[in-house]
Chains A and B, each alone.
Chain A
């Protein structure tokens, strides 16, 4: 079951907006501004690099595997 939201955002009145600003400035909410968000930090960027390296190595492995079989068949072929 899904609940449908309004088709467009409902605008705030002056009172609501002022209340929202006051809320943000309360100590328990103000420090939320210090929470940083980033798609990939250095750590995650390194994970991406590792994932790509693994993918390339896997592709190379499979290509090499097929190539090895082909080489064996060629070598074993009756002349």
Chain B
């Protein structure tokens, strides 16, 4: 008679469950499906330890171009060949200039006000935005680039309650984070924000036709920015 039946399967399952539970417990909540209202960005995974910026730029550039031209690996190798640093936004910016794209780098804000607002770029202009966040603390060596693709709101006074983003370095690409938590992580990296845009094709015209009413609306937005210069104080930007 078997007094002590052994079930090796149960032991293995317990070990696997413990291992799975112990891994990645610092990660934000994964989101399995794209919620409605988020940008459908083709995902690019960071294959190297330092590839989050190049993967993010590849995702965003492909989306803006509307075609798959950049992979993280290809972009990283191109930067290496040009003796540029893949973790340095200025170097990535220089490289993109050489292929006809502009990487705008500035210190953004969480709100929807042009031209610095994260919500403005994502929700009003339809551009995925690369944000550098730091969820580990103040050490700048732990800065991490992610691609913000959308927001969900409640009726609370805050403008955005949840931020959805693609993380090039996690098993679950689509992540979400409460807006206030994202704001803290973003602030640790100086609210660094990047947007890939196509330089305009012609004089006074957008690179792609968006309709007269739309163009007039956004020209009005940016005319106020054009009047702002000098000491950098923004006035009339919404």
- A residues engaging B (CB < 8 A)? 1-24, 26-29, 31-45, 51, 54-55, 58-59, 62-63, 65-66, 69-70, 73
Residue ID in chain A nearest B134 by CB atoms: A37
Give the docked Cα–Cα distance between A44 and B134 (Å): 12
Residues on B with C-beta less than 8 A from A27 are: 232
Contacting residues of chain B (1-56) with chain A, CB-CB under 8 angstroms: 4, 6, 8, 11-12, 14-15, 18-19, 22-23, 35-39, 46, 48-53, 55-56
Residues on B with C-beta less than 8 A from A42 are: 141
B49 touches A24 (CB 8 A): no
Q: Which residue of the partner chain, among A24, A37, A54, contacts B106 with CB atoms under 8 Å?
A: A24
Give the docked Cα–Cα distance between A21 and B125 (Å): 17
A13 touches B11 (CB 8 A): no
Q: Which residue of the partner chain, among A2, A5, A44, A62, contacts B18 with CB atoms under 8 Å?
A: A62
Instruction: Identify the interface centre among A18, A24, A39, A43: most chain B CB within 10 Å of its CB.
Output: A39
- B residues engaging A (CB < 8 A)? 4, 6, 8, 11-12, 14-15, 18-19, 22-23, 35-39, 46, 48-53, 55-56, 63-64, 66, 85, 87-90, 93, 102, 104-107, 115-116, 122-127, 132, 136, 139-145, 150-155, 168-169, 189-193, 197-200, 202-208, 210, 214-215, 218-219, 221-223, 225-226, 229, 232
Residues on A with C-beta less than 8 A from B206 are: 10-13
Residues on A with C-beta less than 8 A from B150 are: 2-3, 5
In the assembled complex, the CB of A10 is this many whole angstroms from the nearest CB of chain B, namely 5
Residues on A with C-beta less than 8 A from B51 are: 39
19 pairs of residues in contact across A and B, judged by CB atoms under 8 Å? A1-B154, A2-B150, A3-B123, A3-B151, A5-B37, A5-B38, A11-B198, A15-B222, A16-B222, A21-B104, A29-B232, A35-B89, A35-B192, A36-B53, A37-B56, A37-B192, A58-B15, A62-B11, A70-B6
Q: Which residue of the partner chain, among A16, A37, A41, contacts B219 with CB atoms under 8 Å?
A: A16
Give the docked Cα–Cα distance between A66 and B177 (Å): 40
